[in-house]
Structure 1
């Protein structure tokens, strides 16, 4: 799926299969050498140890973070970490697909120190490709949901969202209760669905649904297409027309966006289908290429802190820590889940993306 004109296919590309994202990432500019601020050490023969420390090892006060929204939360996390540490953070924000594309485009001159993604298989792909720096001693890592994070400390899911069916309450008088409902005549031409090549969480849902239901799961997506469902960009692009009333429903809607819009008074709500859905963890990882290792570790510690986890719940996301609950949204034990294998989802993501795009485009 990765365009060979730009990138030689690799295991990284396979395991992080947001297939069209590279084209977007290659068009992005910026960052350059933002992550490479350390200077080389002085020759030991030319100065004393104390002089070397002063002249060749200046205080490291930089960090580059690539993060998949939400924007308000990302800004608050960065501000909180900067206030606590005194470290200056440069941030790039985009979808998981755009972040992975940017990493691929910059692989000869890495800039990012830490990435926060909206897809667990994407983080698994980074680990499997040897691109992550393990940090097993991260503070509060033992309090994280073990199913969402790496036992060896290569990635830490500090938050999660669930995929559901978002609907405009002014247009839809009888909300659907199952995924199959969206192929009913009353919802014809009313459904948006996010593009899995741009949205890591949408890909999580599609691969998770297929893993749980086998190849017959494609019948559901075919029925959506036959009922007039359309591919509508990433998550925000799929949801915005439903908020405004141009469309009635989003299949595989990211729940925190819906909760946030509802809290602002928009005519929107969400249901979790009775047969179950996929929880989409949001993993953070330190890249092995980091030039600011200690700052990166401190940033992971901050993401898992009480303060940051409160920011997570305020943004209508599920906290990554099991000892913290949200009071403004459904918690993990209140959401029916599909039984799915994340390893299978990671291994089959590229094939699912390609087939899904051929179906809808």
Structure 2
């Protein structure tokens, strides 16, 4: 019998700071959208007349800026992004929506039961009722509409491994790296039950490699990192050789300071999924639909996921190595902790 957990927290991002982004910035090679059908042109005209599109998003700030630049190049419409981590985005938007007004037009949020609540309270407009021109989203995979077909999943966030390039000879190609005897005492691991995503990952590892694999990791006496961010930092400092999970944003930042740290992406893997929500009665509903369609289109989606280093639904190879949480037979967290020597 399968036990399922909702995909909740995205791994803690870098500093977890809130930051409002300026509107479009940065270079783009996206071309202006031309030869639009009448329905799409009407949506573009309506969006332009309404002004800017306000996007609340939980991906890194630079990616939101790039998205804003790409969208403006395509449609001539300015996007004002606000970057918040998922928990803060949920709290802020809920407070605004509950008061009857939010400046947001579109939200980009880690998939969770929040979408069910927001749809039930009519804070969000179901995508099944959005009437987005079919020509814009006809290629989007039907199986990636969740919450009764009302929330499209535009990105998969794979669990990754951070490693110290001075201590690990070559990029790990398998999760079995965690069980190699030479890494004894040199592995950083976040608490198994610190997030549903971690439970899902270790359940997948148990299914893929068996209990013995987890017991071999326990024999390597992993260090409990206190979280993904400090674990990644410890690896960068040379205190450990590898860490689970790795945090891409932290790795990039530390690389900028010259730290010998890198990210590896073995498969199979799993992780959070990123969904979109159209805000009901927003200031620019046409702009929200157009921006959502841009993110759901093959070209726009692949470009966005390339920028954030995540998996696009249109990436057949990446999707083949990613196991969605709903397809994982979940293990009891206490059992996983025992196998990994954490109890």
TM-score under structure 2 normalisation? 0.63
Report whether the alignment pairs 1:193 with 2:178: no
Which range is displaced more, 305-314 or 224-233?
224-233
Deviations 1:104-142 (A, max 9, x none): 343433332211123455545544665421223445434
2:255 matched to 1:268? no
Residue 181 (1) aligns with residue 178 (2): yes
Would the alpha carbon gap of residues 28 and 167 (structure 1) be closer, same or farther in structure 2, given more than 3 Å must change? closer
Partners of 1:343 and 1:285 in 2: CA distance = 25
What 5-or-longer segments of structure 2 have no aligned partner? 22-47
Residue 94 of structure 2 aligns with which residue? 104
8 Å contact 1:205–1:277 — kept in the other structure? no
1:96-245 aligned at under 5 Å gives the runs 96-109=86-99, 110-119=102-111, 123=115, 126-127=118-119, 130-136=122-128, 137-138=131-132, 139=134, 140-150=136-146, 153-173=149-169, 175=172, 177-178=174-175, 181=178, 186-188=183-185, 190-193=187-190, 203-207=196-200, 209-210=202-203, 223=218, 227-232=222-227, 238-245=231-238
Structure-2 residue corresponding to 1:75: 65
Verify the 8 A CA contact 1:191 1:230 in the aligned structure 2. Answer: yes
Using the TM superposition, give the Cα deviation of residue 294 of structure 1 relative to its aligned residue in structure 2, in angstroms: 1.3
2:278 counterpart (262, 283, 286): 286
1:193/1:342 Cα in 2 relative to 1: closer, same or farther (>3 Å)? same
1:76 CA displacement? 0.8
Counterpart pick for 1:303 among 292, 295, 299: 295
Unpaired runs of 5+ residues, structure 1, are: 1-13, 32-57
Deviation digits for residues 233-265 of structure 1, max 9, x if unmatched?
55xx65344345354323133569869988999
Using a 3 Å threshold, how does the CA distance of structure 1 residues 60 and 105 change in structure 2: closer, same or farther? Answer: same
For the Cα contact (< 8 Å) 1:238–1:250, is it kept in 2? yes
Maintained 8 Å contact 2:173/2:266: no
Q: Is the 8 A contact 2:163 2:262 kept in 1?
A: yes
Q: Would you say the 8 A contact 2:188–2:223 is kept in 1?
A: yes
Q: Distance between the aligned counterparts of 2:86 and 2:121, measured in 1?
A: 17
| Among candidates 51, 55, 64, match of residue 54 of structure 2 | 64
Q: Root-mean-square deviation (CA), in Å? A: 5.0
| Post-superposition offset of 1:65 | 1.2
Taking the aligned partners of 1:16 and 1:331, their CA distance within structure 2 comes to 19
After TM superposition, the structure 1 stretch with the greater mean CA deviation from structure 2, 188-197 or 100-109, is 188-197
Aligned length: 293
Q: Distance in 2 between matches of 1:130 and 1:184?
A: 54
The answer to whether the 8 A contact 1:309-1:319 is kept is yes
